[in-house]
Amino acid sequence: MFKSVTLKDVAAKAGVSYQTVSKVINNKANVSPETEKRIWDAIADLRYTTNYSARSLRRRRSNTIGYTWEPAPPDQSNPILDTFLQSMFRAAEEKDYYLLCFPYHADDKNLLKVYRQLYDTGRVDGFVISRLNYKDPTVPYLLERNMPFVGFGRLDEADKSFPYVDVDGGEGVAQAIAHLVSLGHRKIAALAWPEDSRVGNNRMEGYYQGHAKAGLMPDPRLVSRGEGSSLVGFEATTRLLGLPMEIRPTAVVCMNDVMAIGAMQAVQQAGIQVGRDFGVTGFDDTPTARYLTPPLTSISQPISTIGENLMKRLIEYLETGAYPEPRCELVAPMLEIRESTAGYLPAKE
Amino acid sequence: MFKSVTLKDVAAKAGVSYQTVSKVINNKANVSPETEKRIWDAIADLRYTTNYSARSLRRRRSNTIGYTWEPAPPDQSNPILDTFLQSMFRAAEEKDYYLLCFPYHADDKNLLKVYRQLYDTGRVDGFVISRLNYKDPTVPYLLERNMPFVGFGRLDEADKSFPYVDVDGGEGVAQAIAHLVSLGHRKIAALAWPEDSRVGNNRMEGYYQGHAKAGLMPDPRLVSRGEGSSLVGFEATTRLLGLPMEIRPTAVVCMNDVMAIGAMQAVQQAGIQVGRDFGVTGFDDTPTARYLTPPLTSISQPISTIGENLMKRLIEYLETGAYPEPRCELVAPMLEIRESTAGYLPAKE
């Protein structure tokens, strides 16, 4: 059995104070290169480790966090990017950290290679990762190599294998269902993403839970799945409006605003008035939402809080070797009610 | 008079090859710390400089470019941010460079302090700056301190004091005027920004040049100025529609899409059909533009090209000590024609 080596042992061997060792480890010391080298040598000789990885202890800290993201398709913008980046680097600046942006590679192998290069060359101390889906290859890769990271999102509902901040999308959709039910809607359709979308499934849970809470049983024929584009929203809604009267929906909740835009166009093309005759809700609360005719009811995510909390968590880990508890944090989204769900007059049955 | 010191003199004094010195200067050498130190000492002893600043030669290169930007107001998104950042760090990656993002400070003094800290601590080798306006304090600050940078934008039309890439906004608005004139419009209003906006004035030049080219004289009462918000667009257009028939405009060109959205709402509220009865054009070609009812004719900027060219210019300077010629580059925007200017039927006079 090893005798546990303490910071004091390192300090004694290097002939410096306990505080100096701590400062050098945290890259905050103002000591000569010779002294610094003596301390690192002592750490290596004594095989000093904490729960914080020995590898990170050895290398010089860069006080830099790496982040990459998938570019938005050309006909869409990334509605949260500006706020997300700003909130991250404002939180980072408070602790003297910066954000390094690097290119996204659609090819997993290339992407993981970049993560590794950035970390192994000491360019960054850790990563923020986003757009997590089931079987995301980044998470096991970073975990295995002991690279510090936090996730905006999780792998699945039960997953607690790494620290993350995520939006409870299901809670947002449940709010939309409750709102539509309060207006008198009983047949509410859903425009959902394919079943391999983790975020999409999380949001759809709220569709079922919202119905259950209202004592309603959703008709499976009212759930349509497809990619989150405006065209898919248009076609699916056109199909839903052609259903026999007894099951035809009077409202549709969409898993993003882009699908909702297509849904609104389909409703208008059918000569039905969005809002009074047919309710439409989106998700994301893109800046576009409020400028549509009529303005779109949507679900907004507290992006600033998410970016700030992610960065604080990661930096706390880098500085102390421990993530703040609880390691995983779910934040609630908020329903922004606008005219696309206003003034509904249910037909007498 | 000094005898000019060459790279070969440095190599001879340090006892290494010419190539090794060059690699160390460009931070690409794989040599021992001892060798590297010997080379830097030789550079210092011989006072070796090139046209590239001695200060940069002395410090270790970080292969990192700094960038900050003003956050968009909460009710708007930054429609070009994703594309701009991606194009910059893709171009950077090709040369083994990365982009470091840092927080914007509305207070000039704080902002300039951050520029200085990042550069003086060697965290970044140079900057990309954007949102340039008359009397921008960043430009003289960086020029004076010999910090390498390139601008997305310029200080004024004649300015060539630093390397930039800019969009010829006037050319875009002139295209919009020519398009409206070809449809039969003769009384074309403008929703412009305040007169202290450099970008706004550049765009408005196109309004006057477009009229001149068509042999038309714009009525000064048809030019309305205000901040680029949807509300300002709404109010200004409502006022324009209330003008006596003989000067009332049949179209309006707006200096951004957000104003155009307000203009369209004012036209619709007045019971007039956008497109057939009244033309509206925007600027920026935000993703929102194509989803409006009707879709908005707008002017798109080649953002990917701009980001890529900015980064290539800056890295070439960092690697060679000279900016590529011409130092200043103007790129043309493109008019995207949609239904907000379609099918105009001029009244018989």
CATH of the domain at A16: 1.10.260.40
**φ, ψ (nearest 5 deg) of residue A245:** -50, -40
Question: By the 8 A CB rule, do A191 and A263 touch?
Answer: yes
Residue A80 shares a structural domain with residue A160: yes
Q: A166-196 burial string, b = 16+ CB within 10 Å, else e?
A: bbbbbbbbbbbbbbbbebebebbbbbbbeee
Are B77 and B106 part of one and the same domain? yes
CATH of residue B262's domain is: 3.40.50.2300
- Quick check: is B20 in a domain? yes
User: Quick one: B154 and B241 in the same domain?
Assistant: no
- Contact between chains at A291 and B261 (C-beta distance less than 8 A): yes
Overall average pLDDT of the B220-234 stretch:
92
B2 in a structural domain: no
Report yes or no: A171 and A160 within 8 Å, Cβ to Cβ: no
pLDDT higher for A253 or B45?
A253
Nearest CA of chain B to the CA of A242: how many Å? 24
Query: Do A110 and A259 share a structural domain?
Result: no
Shared domain check, B123 and B231 = no
Q: Is residue B53 predicted with pLDDT exceeding 60? A: no
Given pLDDT bands bounded at 50, 70 and 90, which one contains residue B38?
Answer: confident
Q: Is residue A58 part of a domain?
A: no
| Owner of token pair 């779910």 | A330
B193 and B275 in a single domain? The answer is yes
- Residue A215 in any domain: the answer is yes
CA–CA separation, B344 and A321 (whole Å): 67
Residues from chain A that touch B77, judged by Cβ atoms under 8 A, are 77, 79, 82, 286-287
User: For residue B37, what pLDDT is reported?
Assistant: 77
Q: Note whether A77 contacts B72, CB cutoff 8 Å.
A: no
Size of interface A-B (CB pairs under 8 A): 87
Q: What is the pLDDT of residue B33?
A: 74
Cα separation values, A93 from A84, A98, A99, A312, A323, Å: 14, 6, 9, 11, 19
Q: Is the dihedral of CA B272, B276, B282, B288 positive or negative?
A: positive
CB atoms within 10 A of CB B3: 6
Residue B199 lies in a domain: yes
First-to-final CA distance of chain A: 79
Q: Does A2 fall in a domain?
A: no
Domain span at A99? 64-167+302-332
* N-term to C-term CA, chain B: 80
A278 and A213 within one domain: yes
Q: Are residues B192 and B295 in the same domain?
A: yes
Which residues of chain B neighbour A86 with C-beta distances below 8 Å? 71, 103-104
Give the closest residue to B179 by CA, choosing from B136, B223, B213, B144. B213
pLDDT digits (tens, 9 = 90+) for A82-106: 999 999 999 999 999 999 999 999 8
Give how many domains chain A has, as a whole number: 3
ipTM of the complex: 0.76
pTM of the model: 0.78
Q: In order along chain A (349 residues), what is the average pLDDT of each group of 10 residues?
A: 64 84 69 79 65 43 92 81 94 94 91 91 92 85 93 86 93 98 97 92 96 96 92 95 96 95 93 95 89 92 95 94 90 96 76
Claim to verify: residue A107 and residue A191 sit in the same structural domain:
no
Determine, yes or no, domain membership for A24.
yes
Contact A82 B86 (CB under 8 A): no
Task: Determine the 3-state secondary structure of B299 from DSSP.
Answer: strand
Contact yes or no for B100 and A102 at CB 8 A: no
Q: Are residues B173 and B295 in the same domain?
A: yes
Convert the pLDDT of each residue in A135-152 to its tens digit. 888 999 999 989 999 999
Same domain, A18 and A38: yes
- Sign, CA dihedral A167-A168-A169-A172, equals negative
Residues A95, A191 within the same domain: no
Largest CA distance in chain B: 87
CA B222 from chain centre, in angstroms, equals 28
- C-alpha B7/C-alpha A106 separation (Å) is 42
Which residues, other chains included, contact A326 with Cβ-Cβ below 8 Å and sequence gap of 6+? none
In a domain, B55, yes or no: no
